[in-house]
Amino acid sequence: MEVGLANQNAAPASGGGTKLFYIVLGAIALGGLASIAYTLGASGSTATEPVDLSGLDDPRELYELAVAVKTGPDDAPVKVVEFADYQCGGCRTFALGVVPALDEYIERGEVQFVYYDFPLVSIHAHAFLAARAGRCAEEQGRFWDYHKALFRNQATWARKQDAAPDFVDLAAAEGLDVSSFAACLRSDAHADVVSANRALAEQIGIRSTPTVIVNNRRLVAPSARALEDVVQAELDAAAGG
Amino acid sequence: MRRPPVRLRMAVAALSLVGLFVSVYLLLNDLGLTGLAACSPGGGCDIVQSSPYSSFLGVPVALLGVLGYLVLFAVAFLGSQPRGVGADWVGPSIVALATVAFVFSAYLTALEAWVIRAWCPYCVVSAVLATLIFALSLAELPPLRGGSPDESDAHG
């Protein structure tokens, strides 16, 4: 009896049912494709807002301790400031896929790129150590090579229980003086600077990485195109002003 | 002879298609191709996808999701078409695929809850879809002897 009932209910779908099925599939496909196209095209928020630097208890002191790493001339008309975390996937994308778009601006002296560490220690166990490792490489004048190497190998060291040996191996692979690098890494060297970097980021209300500030415009995880548009607009404004 | 639950297969196909897009998004995110890759202390997908558990035997979990949903969609879609509806292999394939997807999703959800301790909303959506598909796939099983009504066929 019940088998018979099931048979009746399970009869092949009527023409109307089949049509509805195709409409639903089409709607899902369209919605899915549109969402993915939007996500790829958006490539980060292009919303901009001014950075409010007022209201710090002692901004000068904090700013002096929160030393950044810079490339490009100090008198460049446009400063691109990044706050980043070596263990963040978005920062990896930004460092390896977006920052190279600034190379020619930096070479022409139009842009100075300023890097601040903002290790999100509550979610990324190795971010603080990675930031210190970058500063240890800077002692040897090799910050930017090591910076890129950290991001290139993020997937490997981020998964380790103890990332320090990986950081030392990377230093060796990049041709750094391994013994002094290891000594630096295994001390508290630069912990104060990295902590001050973090505090500065928090003081100015940065919540996620990579946050990029172009002169006084703030962008979160911008695409290369979005960043170039803002840089060019700032250059035009500087030339016009 | 018992006839196949065509409408339920249609529902499985539709849900699999949703799952396919969710997995494609997660795969793009894993590859760093999406714009929503910014990290913040509250962001779950970044934590989950940068954890050691985001790949299984060296294959990104998101890629497994894409392949799994793609195959499920193809089988359920074929099984709802006049030419494929009578094929013997469709029902058992749907049950097998849906069971694997459900068990694997349960494992991943347990990892999120107790090991990674972070929730990626897209992963949760995928787990819900896998559960729904598994529930629907039970209609492919032969009725128990002396059987209770096949509830999942009630709307079929």
Q: What ipTM score was computed for the predicted complex, to two decimals?
A: 0.76
pLDDT of residue A116: 96
Residue B119's pLDDT band, with cuts at 50, 70 and 90, is: confident
* Cβ separation A158–B38 shorter than 8 A: no
Classify residue B62 by burial, with Cβ atoms within 10 Å: 0-12, 13-18, 19+. buried
- The helix/strand/coil state of A209 is strand
How far A34 CA lies from chain B's nearest CA (Å)?
A: 10
The Cα B48–Cα A129 span in angstroms is: 20
Statement: residue B55 has pLDDT above 90: no
pLDDT of residue A8: 40
* Cβ separation A32–B17 shorter than 8 A: yes
Residues of chain A with pLDDT under 50: 1-11, 43-56
Query: For chain A, what is the largest distance between any 2 Cα atoms, rounded to a whole number of angstroms?
Result: 88
* Cβ separation A43–B40 shorter than 8 A: no
Tokens matching residue A213: 């500030």
Classify residue B151 by burial, with Cβ atoms within 10 Å: 0-12, 13-18, 19+. exposed
Stretch B21-45: mean pLDDT, rounded? 72
pLDDT of residue A58: 67
Peptide bond into A210 cis (omega under 30): yes
pLDDT of residue B34: 61
C-alpha atoms less than 13 angstroms from C-alpha of A230 in its C-beta half-sphere: 24
Residues of B in contact with A11 (CB under 8 A): 3, 6
Structural domains present in chain B:
6-33+45-141 (1.20.1440.130)
The Cα A18–Cα A12 span in angstroms is: 9
Stretch B8-33: mean pLDDT, rounded? 88
* C-alpha dist (Å) from residue A145 to A23, A190, A240, B41: 53, 18, 36, 28
pLDDT of residue A123: 77
Report pLDDT digits (tens) over A1-54: 344 434 444 445 567 788 899 999 999 999 998 888 776 655 443 222 333 333
Within 8 A by CB and 6+ apart from B127, the residues are B105, B106, B108, B109
Report pLDDT digits (tens) over B65-112: 999 999 999 999 999 999 888 899 999 999 999 999 999 999 999 988
Positive or negative torsion for Cα A9, B135, B49, B38: positive
Residues of B in contact with A209 (CB under 8 A): 38-40
Statement: residue B145 has pLDDT above 70: no
Q: Which of A10, A13, A92 sits opposite B32 (nearest CB)?
A: A92
Cβ atoms of B153 and B28 closer than 8 Å:
no
Of A236, A229, A223, A230, the residue nearest A97 (C-alpha) = A223
Within 8 A by CB and 6+ apart from A127, the residues are A85, A86, A87, A88, A119, A120, A121
How far B100 CA lies from chain A's nearest CA (Å)?
A: 23
Residues of A in contact with B69 (CB under 8 A): none
pLDDT of residue A46: 28
| Residues in chain B, overall count | 156
CB contact A128 to B (< 8 Å): no
Within 8 A by CB and 6+ apart from B140, the residues are B4, B5, B8, B91, B92, B94, B95
Amino acid at B21: F
pLDDT of residue A1: 38
Residues 194-233 of A with CB under 8 A from B: 207-211, 220-221, 223
Alpha helices in A15-142 (DSSP H): 15-42, 59-65, 89-93, 103-107, 127-139
Tokens matching residue A29: 């496909």
Classify residue A228 by burial, with Cβ atoms within 10 Å: 0-12, 13-18, 19+. middle
Tokens matching residue A206: 């940065």
| Residues in chain A, overall count | 241
pLDDT of residue B152: 45
Q: Which of A7, A11, A91 sits opposite B39 (nearest CB)?
A: A91
Positive or negative torsion for Cα A72, A74, A76, A79: positive
Residues of A in contact with B46 (CB under 8 A): 88-90, 123
